[in-house]
């Protein structure tokens, strides 16, 4: 318990395949994925994880069939309302990152309401990456910095990692310690590219709707068995 990741990020993959294996519509997989989400939220809070960031909907996901996108947005609205007691009981603050302006108005309203109602909760911060893409985030940061350089607010000579961090969507969060991806795929998929520079990666064959408390603990145990050197040697770390 003395060596827990401070910030866990999860690519929640495999809802569609889970449903297809059972002869269901893909949207049924997304609905069952909410149960795994609730388990993960509560167990992370119980053991003392401070930040949890979830890849809920990417910028590329807008290219999926309209029926599926509409159902995902509908599910998001319902889930935000249904999970509010979970957030409050567990002292979890909700946050969201991404190009939120692209979300339907009802989703944005429910999201803003839940964020506002949970803003005083201090035990854990859960961030939903919605309409999110890491490359778009970095481009946004570069544009913001460029404007400030042009207006002599920032000197180009002073641009460093801290300046870039300040202009990312995640400016109020620490870098990711552990990145988990479910469903057996082993790629990052344009998620938090800057923030995972030194994260430990954990890939599991388990599909997201089957991601259990035990699998969460396996990922954390794997993290704890690794030596994080940040470019140094083992001798320097010891």
Residues forming the active site: 13, 61
Question: CA–CA separation, 87 vs 137, rounded Å?
Answer: 27
Q: CA Rg, the chain, in Å?
A: 18
Question: CA–CA separation, 1 vs 23, rounded Å?
Answer: 41
Tokens (6 digits) for 24: 């269901």
Judge contact between 25 and 19, C-beta under 8 A: yes
- Would strands 200-203 and 7-11 be described as parallel, antiparallel, or unpaired? unpaired
Pick the closest to residue 77 from 104, 58, 42 (CA basis): 104
* CA torsion through residues 217, 95, 65, 30, sign: positive
Pick the closest to residue 198 from 229, 167, 159, 152 (CA basis): 229
């Amino acid at each position: 318990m003395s060596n827990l990741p401070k910030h866990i990020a999860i690519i929640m993959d495999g809802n569609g395949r889970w449903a297809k294996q059972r002869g269901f519509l893909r949207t049924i997989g997304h609905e069952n994925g909410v149960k795994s989400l609730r388990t993960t939220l509560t167990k992370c809070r119980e053991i003392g994880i401070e930040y949890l960031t979830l890849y809920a909907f990417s910028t590329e996901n807008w290219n999926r069939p309209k029926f599926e996108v509409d159902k995902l947005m509908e599910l998001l609205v319902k889930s935000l309302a249904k999970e509010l007691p979970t957030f409050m009981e567990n002292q979890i603050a909700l946050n969201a990152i991404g190009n939120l302006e692209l979300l339907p108005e009802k989703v944005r309203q429910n999201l803003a309401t839940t964020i506002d109602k949970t803003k005083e909760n201090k035990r854990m911060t859960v961030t939903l990456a919605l309409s999110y893409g890491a490359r778009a985030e970095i481009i946004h940061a570069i544009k913001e910095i460029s404007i400030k350089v042009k207006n002599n607010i920032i000197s180009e000579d002073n641009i460093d990692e801290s300046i870039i961090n300040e202009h990312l969507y995640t400016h109020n969060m620490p870098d990711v310690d552990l990145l988990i991806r479910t469903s057996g795929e082993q790629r990052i998929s344009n998620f938090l590219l800057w923030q995972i520079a030194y994260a430990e990666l954990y890939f599991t064959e388990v599909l997201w709707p089957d991601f259990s408390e035990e699998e969460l603990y396996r990922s954390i145990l794997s993290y704890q068995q690794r030596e994080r050197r940040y470019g140094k040697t083992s001798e320097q770390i010891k």
